[in-house]
Amino acid sequence: MNNETAARLIALNKQFYQTFGREFSSTRQRLQPGVLRVLDRLIGDESILDLGCGNGEMARELMRRGHRAPYTGVDFSLSLLEVARHGWEDAPATFVRADLTAADWDKKIIASMPGPFDLVTAFATLHHIPGAEMRLNILSKIHALLRPGGRLIHSEWQFLSSEKLSGRIQPWSEIRLSPEDVDPGDYLLDWRGGGRGLRYVHHFDEAELEALASAGGFRVRNAFFSDGENGRLGLYQDWERL
């Protein structure tokens, strides 16, 4: 994928979340079962960096559970961050507006939370990053933000396992691209809530994630499927920083 195509896909997703941020948030009032399973395994004293925090529901759940360590949520969508910040002004949670596709997004994190994190989460986030080069660049920054032995836990949307969601795949011609312009595993999906929108999503399989972890300086500790009616709409992986 060339830089021009990557930039177009990034702009497409930004436009989607700016336009449909509140409608999208209304469909995310409860955490996915896989996320709750991850939170169940936490001790409560991990410093957490939550990439793609969206409407802040995970922060709320952590506080309800009495999480004792700092939490920093990051998202590029102002409308989602406004929802995330509401009602939590006095809580031990910090929210930062930053774009993971920008070259200096990590500097904003360092300024708000000096010192390494114990855990970075990226639920339903990396699959919106176009191109292997950009994903590796983001992983290198995550690697630097984690303490040695720290963990990155993320989930990737397995929409191809659902006949309904597979039916939302749209031709690249909708945005004046061709299949040759994008990478294998790249898809264009439509949104039908409060209007019609389009999003770029990459479909990861376990082999691709294993290779990505190794290239980024991580090892896969464990993985599981969860979410959706079939229990397989999300692929969750727990990576350890090497």
Q: Which pLDDT score, from 0 to 100, does residue 114 have? A: 67
Tens of pLDDT along the chain (242 residues) come to 899 999 999 999 988 877 776 655 555 557 999 999 999 999 989 999 999 998 888 988 998 898 888 899 999 888 778 877 776 655 668 888 999 999 899 998 888 776 799 999 999 999 999 999 999 999 999 999 999 999 999 999 999 999 999 999 999 999 999 999 999 999 999 987 767 889 999 999 999 999 999 999 999 999 999 999 899 999 999 999 99
For the four alpha carbons of 239, 212, 103 and 19, in that order, the dihedral sign comes to negative
Q: What is the pLDDT of residue 117?
A: 95
Instruction: Give the β-pairing of 146-157 and 117-123.
Output: parallel
**Is 179 within a domain?**
no
Q: Is the Cβ–Cβ distance between 20 and 193 less than 8 Å?
A: yes
Residue 28, domain member (yes or no)? yes
pLDDT at 23: 59
Q: What is the pLDDT of residue 206?
A: 95
Q: Do the domain assignments include residue 187?
A: no
pLDDT at 191: 85
Residue 182 belongs to some domain of the structure: no
Instruction: Name the pTM for this structure.
Output: 0.90
For position 22, what pLDDT does the model report? 60
* C-alpha dihedral, 87 to 91 to 97 to 100, nearest 10°: -120
Q: What is the CATH number of the domain that holds 138?
A: 3.40.50.150
Alpha-carbon distance 44 to 18, whole Å? 33
> Does residue 118 fall inside a structural domain?
yes
- Residue 166 inside a domain? The answer is no
Overall number of domains in the chain: 1
Range of the domain at 121: 3-158+203-241
Angle, nearest 10°, between helix axes 57-64 and 33-40?
40
Asked if residue 220 is part of any domain, the answer here is: yes
Whether residue 237 is contained in a domain is answered as yes
Whole-number pLDDT of residue 126: 95
How many Cβ atoms sit within 10 Å of the Cβ of residue 31?
16
The confidence score (pLDDT) of residue 68 equals 86
